[in-house]
Amino acid sequence: MLETIGKLNYTIVLCDDIDRMKVFYRELLPFPVVAETATSLALDGGGVLLGLRQRERSYDGRGGGSESPGVQLAFLVAPDEVEPCYQQLLERGVGILDPPADQPRGHRTVYFSDPEGNVLEVYAEI
């Protein structure tokens, strides 16, 4: 049965403060809103949905934050867009983890965090 899985459809970031996270991701990303409830938000990430959901189930766990990031999300841009993205993040006061740098795997990256400490990456293939 598992061999019939065809693609990744969505990913969900579990949130302690859903309202704060909705504001952060809406202001950061140009993705259209697909669905929204009081405890969730779904954005169209261009083939993969990005969901935010309030932690509310018994198996969701609690906490997180910078001591225990729950997810890393990577966003692909053109090579000449890494620096402008970095500058915009700085202007918005977003917490930068690593400034733009070329990586051995052939990517130029900048790492930053969302309000709950999850790691986000803007990268370009170089």
Specify the DSSP class assigned to residue 69.
-
- In terms of domains, do 51 and 86 share one? no
Query: How far apart are alpha carbons 49 and 107 in whole angstroms?
Result: 23
Specify the DSSP class assigned to residue 47.
S
Q: For the whole model, what pTM was predicted?
A: 0.79
Query: How far apart are alpha carbons 63 and 118 in whole angstroms?
Result: 11
CB 7 within 8 Å of CB 13: no
* Nearest alpha carbon to residue 13 among 3, 1, 4, 28: 28
Asked if the structure places residue 105 within a domain, the reply is yes
Q: Per-residue pLDDT for the chain (126 aa), expressed as one digit of tens each?
A: 557 767 888 899 989 999 999 999 999 999 999 999 999 999 999 999 999 999 886 666 665 544 455 678 999 999 999 999 999 999 999 999 999 999 988 999 999 999 988 889 999 999
Bridge partners for 15 per DSSP: 54
| CATH number, position 28 | 3.30.720.120
Buried-state track 82-104, b at ≥16 Cβ within 10 A, e below 16: beebbeebeeeebeeeeebeeee
Asked if the structure places residue 81 within a domain, the reply is yes
CB 117 within 8 Å of CB 67: yes
- In terms of domains, do 53 and 72 share one? no
Give the domain extent around 34.
Answer: 1-57
| CATH number, position 104 | 3.10.180.10
As for how many domains the chain has, the answer is 2
